[in-house]
Amino acid sequence: MAEKEEASARRSGAWRLADSSSAYLRGAHEQAIDWFPWGEEAFEAARRLNRPILLDVGAVWCHWCHVMDEGTYSDETVARLIGQHFVAVKVDRDANPEVDRRYQRQVNALTGEGGWPLTAFLTPKGETFFGGTYFPADEGMGRPGFRRVLLEISRLWREEPDKIRANTTALATALTHEHHGTGRAQTLSTEEFLDGVRASIRSSYDPVHGGFGMAPKFPHPTAVSFQMWNALVTGDDQSAEQARRTLLTMADGGMYDQVGGGFHRYSVDEGWHIPHFEKMGLDNAALTTTYADACRRFEEPRFPEVVRGTLGWIQSTLADPKGGFGASQDADNAPGDDGSYFTWSRPELKAVLDPTELRITSRFFGVGSEGRMPHDPDRNVLFRLMPVQEAAEGTSLEPAQARTVLDSAVQKLAKARLRRPRPVVDPALYTNLNGGFIRAFCASYAALRDPSYLAAARQAADRFLREGYRSGRGLPHQIAAPAASGFGHLEDQAEFAWALVELAGVTVEPSYVERAVELYELILSQYAVPGMPLRDIAPALYDGPEIGAIGVPAFPIEDMPHLSPNAAVALGLLRLGSLTGEERWPTEARALIGAALPRLERAGLFASGMALAGGLLDTEPLRIVVQGSGPAADALWTAAHAAWHPNVWIFRGTPPEPFSLPEELAAATASGPRARALLCWGTRCAPPVEKPEALGTLMRRASAPGPEA
């Protein structure tokens, strides 16, 4: 008996998390709370002890998750109350997106709150009856103290079970209604839907600072892509200008890391000055793809700089030597920290820079102005306040010299920053994130023609196919030792299948098309529900524990704010259809969009992904073949990649099967080796083009020119 008690004492606290593959869970393993990972063991304990479950969902990159771990969950009274009255479960939202998705939805329906950390109280069956986000140990910041919350929840559980049952019943009813949409949208046409999204984007656009909505301000890259498409097909120059300005203000703001490259999560103010400092793979992949498209759409020299800077951060910070990319970089480098790795005081700048560099850098990056940290005004987020030539006023430097001085100063700051304690990087290799990364590198290669980008995309794709892909099961959520895990997630198949389509298009390799087709066949057979969008997990493939709310279907169709899995499937199907010429794929996309519309009528800005798919469905794809060799053909090839179209494929010579060309284009490619470009929108083609400048002009059209052109 004594030996058992001694063993139990040694295993007090969060010992179950010590060997977790999740950095977020491992970070809590020394807490006094007896945490369980997500699994049947926790639910069995709750049933056996007749206790409610305390569910904490967070991530290693999440600042307020750290604050709650370091302040609330490290509080002795909080730990004691949890140990006496609850079964505590900790979940990594990156590792278990299906758990996060369901309980975010439930807590939001009950309280109107959402985000991370997510704090939910569940019955032993997994039904949510109360929740919120961050709770301090004691009352503060307008939040109730967690000690008081725990006492009241435990009292309710013992004394007023009827109230708990009423909450769970009301929640179930509300979520059931949500599944079935608003009713009117059953007859909503695609054009009416697109008009609604256009209106929502226009009304939420910030004419002063760019972007959408007010503080806190998140990037919405898919909405920007929708605006670029809208400008092409409608001639709406205002949409194009709003897209350009949004991308430019984000790039010049503090949300973009002016020293190390890459984007932080979001801005706490409207002007993009002060970010929340975590850097997410999800954000950076999506934003890079949009900026790469913008390189071709706009003559804006800042955009290629941002693409190179962001990919540089991804490759230096997240890249795995064997291929693929990790998930995130934390905001903080120590308990109680808030972005000190990324911010600068004047003494720190003075210690690194010479007087001329200090003067120009301080003015250019707005030191002492809107970038001052609210809790510590001596520290500054660097953002671009003024043009270089204006920053150099009062010095003897010409603008070109000032630019050189500024570049030198940024390099010095980057080296100095590397000597600071570095925020933790999560190296976990998630399939959905790597699908986004592969698309970002492919888009950047198409825009900037850097072969290292294509090599990185291929290495990542080949590794995931080699180590993760299983015939008939698709791809797991994560590849990691000792084995891949987490099969059955829609977002993994959706993002990776689309990534393979894009990779196939730039490499012209049939094997990537073949694997993409296999994944789409799997998606359409295993994730489909009649009359509904695709569900997020496939019951026959899912290898996680079917506990709690997992059995409740979820149909992710809204961008949050990045592309929803259903929209990713629709867009990938459209791209596959234009690449192969098979009508089945756009037909499947049309059905999927139709199933989503009844549930997106009020989504507005957050329906941008599905709206883009709906728009592209009726926008003729553009296919280009550049013929010949030598400088003239090379110039046409370069011009084709320098211009933008939302659904274009560019080939050097006739591509092999299964890559498809319209009949007229295929026939034209058989005639001679002369340098020329052949363009077809859908099945209608333009006369051959021999001048690079004419090619760019033609590509900016939404459809083939008529005979009079």
Among 236, 235, 263, 231, which residue's Cα sits nearest to residue 247?
Answer: 263
* Residue 263: partners with Cβ closer than 8 Å, 6 or more residues away: 219, 250, 255, 256, 257, 279, 283, 284, 287, 310
Cα–Cα dist 574/583, whole Å: 9
Dump the DSSP string for 605-632. GGGHHHHHHHHHHTS--EEEEEE--SHH
pLDDT at 1: 42
Between CA 331 and CA 641 the distance in angstroms is: 36
The confidence band for 60, taking pLDDT boundaries of 50, 70 and 90, is very high
Nearest to 86 by CA among 137, 117, 43, 116: 43
User: Which residues are within 8 A (CB) of 660 and not within 5 positions of it... i.e. 6 or more apart?
Assistant: 579, 580, 581, 582
Q: How confident is the model at residue 8 (pLDDT cuts 50, 70, 90)?
A: very low
As a whole number of Å, the end-to-end CA separation of the chain is 92
Residue 327 lies in a domain: no
CB neighbours of 122 closer than 8 A, spacing ≥ 6?
A: 46, 52, 53, 55, 128, 129, 548
Fill in the DSSP letter of residue 498. H
More confident residue, 3 or 158: 158
Residues 126/547, Cβ–Cβ less than 8 Å:
yes
Give the end of a domain, one of 362, 394, 422.
422
pLDDT in tens, 432-479: 999 999 999 999 999 999 999 999 999 999 999 999 999 999 999 999
**What pLDDT, on the 0 to 100 scale, is given for residue 704?**
83
Rounded Cα distance between 82 and 51, Å, is: 10
Cβ atoms of residues 25 and 68 within 8 Å:
no
Instruction: Kindly state whether residue 318 falls inside one of the protein's structural domains.
Output: no
Mean of pLDDT values over 281-295: 98
In the prediction, which pLDDT does 140 show? 74
Q: Residue 306: inside a domain, yes or no? A: no
Token pair for 95: 């590792």
Contact 675, 628 (CB under 8 A): yes
Is the confidence at residue 256, as pLDDT, over 90?
A: yes
CA-to-CA distance for 82 and 708, rounded, in angstroms? 77
Is pLDDT above 90 for 185? no
Phi-psi region of 183 (alpha: psi -120 to 50; beta: other; left: phi over 0): left
What residues make up the domain containing 634?
Answer: 622-699
Q: Spell out the residues 6+ positions from residue 513 whose beta carbon is closer than 8 angstroms to its own.
A: 500, 501, 504, 576, 579, 580, 658, 659
CA 649, CA 141: separation in Å to the nearest integer?
A: 53
Q: Which residues contact 228 (CB under 8 A, 6 or more apart)?
A: 239, 240, 243, 293, 294, 297, 644, 646
Rounded Cα gap, residues 556 and 397, in angstroms: 54
Asked if pLDDT for residue 246 goes beyond 60, the answer is: yes
The DSSP code sequence of 687-709 is: PPB--HHHHHHHHT-SS---TT-
Give the model's pLDDT for residue 12: 61
Q: Is the separation of the CB atoms in 612 and 569 below 8 Å?
A: no
Q: Sorting pLDDT into bands at 50, 70 and 90, what band is 7?
A: very low
Say if residues 37 and 16 touch (Cβ distance below 8 Å). Answer: yes
Query: Residue 34: helix, strand or coil by DSSP?
Result: coil
325 DSSP 8-state letter: B
Nearest to 265 by CA among 197, 332, 361: 332
Which residues have C-beta within 8 Å of that of residue 314, sequence separation ≥ 6?
262, 281, 284, 285, 288, 325, 437, 440
Mean pLDDT value across residues 552-560: 94
State mean pLDDT over 211-216: 94
Residue the block writes with tokens 């941002």? 306
Instruction: Say how far apart CA 605 and CA 212 lie, in whole Å.
Output: 9
pLDDT of residue 179: 56
Separation CA 535–CA 529 (nearest Å): 7
Q: What percent of the chain has a predicted confidence (pLDDT) above 90?
A: 84
Q: In a 3-state reduction of DSSP, which class is residue 106?
A: helix
Nearest by Cα to 615 from 231, 256, 202: 231
The number of beta carbons lying within 10 Å of the beta carbon of residue 3 is 7
pLDDT at 396: 87
pLDDT reported for residue 663: 85
Residue 161 CB partners (closer than 8 Å, separation 6+): none
Candidates 6, 14, 4; CA nearest to 83 is 14
Q: What is the pLDDT of residue 186?
A: 59
Helix (H, G, I), strand (E, B) or coil at 191: helix
* Residue 396 placed within a domain: yes
What is the mean pLDDT of the segment spanning 386-413?
A: 93
- Supply 34's token pair: 């007896």
CB 90 within 8 A of CB 37: yes
For residues 22 and 93, what is the distance between their CA atoms, to the nearest angstrom?
A: 10
Q: What is the CATH number of the domain that holds 115?
A: 3.40.30.10
Asked if residue 212 lies in contact with residue 206, where contact means CB atoms within 8 angstroms, the answer is: yes
| Cα atoms found within 13 Å of the Cα of residue 351, Cβ hemisphere only | 8
Which of 56-60, 142-146, 407-411, 643-647 has the least mean pLDDT?
Answer: 142-146
Read off the pLDDT of each residue in 693-703 and give the average, rounded to a whole number.
91
Q: Residue for token digits 């080949």?
A: 462
* Confidence at 482, pLDDT banded by 50, 70, 90: low
Average pLDDT over residues 63-91: 96
Q: What is the mean pLDDT of the chain?
A: 93
Of the pLDDT bands very low, low, confident and very high (cuts 50, 70, 90), residue 604 is very high
Residue where a domain stops, chosen among 148, 179, 210: 179
Q: Please check the confidence at residue 708 and state whether its pLDDT lies above 80.
A: no
Burial letters for 358-394: b for 16+ Cβ neighbours within 10 Å, e otherwise? bbbbbbbbbbeebbbbeeeeebbbbbbbeebeebbee
In this predicted structure, the answer to whether residue 499 has a pLDDT above a threshold of 80 is yes
For residues 142 and 139, give the distance between their C-alpha atoms in angstroms, rounded to a whole number.
7
What is the predicted pLDDT for the residue at 578?
97
pLDDT at 235: 95
| Residue 9: pLDDT over 80 | no
What's the rounded Cα separation, in Å, for the pair 417 and 415? Answer: 5
**Confidence band of 174 (pLDDT split at 50, 70, 90):** confident
pLDDT at residue 183 in the model? 46
Q: Is residue 278 situated within a structural domain?
A: no
Look at 189-198, 327-336, 510-519 and tell me which has the smallest mean pLDDT.
327-336
Burial letters 685-700, b for 16+ CB under 10 A, else e: bbeebbebeebbebbe
Give the mean model confidence (pLDDT) for residues 265-288: 97
294 near 402, Cβ under 8 Å?
Answer: no
pLDDT band at 6 (very low <50, low <70, confident <90, very high): very low
> In terms of pLDDT, which residue wins out, 193 or 708?
193
Which of the given ranges, 317-321, 335-339, 600-604, 658-662, has the highest pLDDT on average?
317-321
Region 146-158 average pLDDT? 96
8-state DSSP, 479: E
Unique residue bearing structure tokens 């954000």: 283
Mean pLDDT value across residues 506-516: 98
Q: What are the backbone dihedrals phi and psi of residue 140, each rounded to the nearest 5 degrees, phi first?
A: 175, 160
Structural domain count, the chain: 3
Name, of 106-110, 250-254, 694-698, the range with top average pLDDT: 250-254
What is the distance between the alpha carbons of residues 281 and 460, in angstroms, rounded to a whole number?
14
Q: Mark which of 179, 205, 237 sits at the end of a domain.
A: 179
**Residue 671 pLDDT:** 64
The answer to whether residue 568 sits within a structural domain is no
The average pLDDT across 8-12 equals: 49
Tokens coding 647: 């659904």
d(CA 636, CA 19): 56
What was the pLDDT predicted at 10? Answer: 45
Tell me, yes or no, whether 447 lies in a domain. no
Q: Look at residue 257 and tell me if it is in a domain.
A: no
Residue 3 has pLDDT above 60, yes or no: no
> Helices 490-507 and 510-526 sit at what angle, rounded to 10 degrees?
160
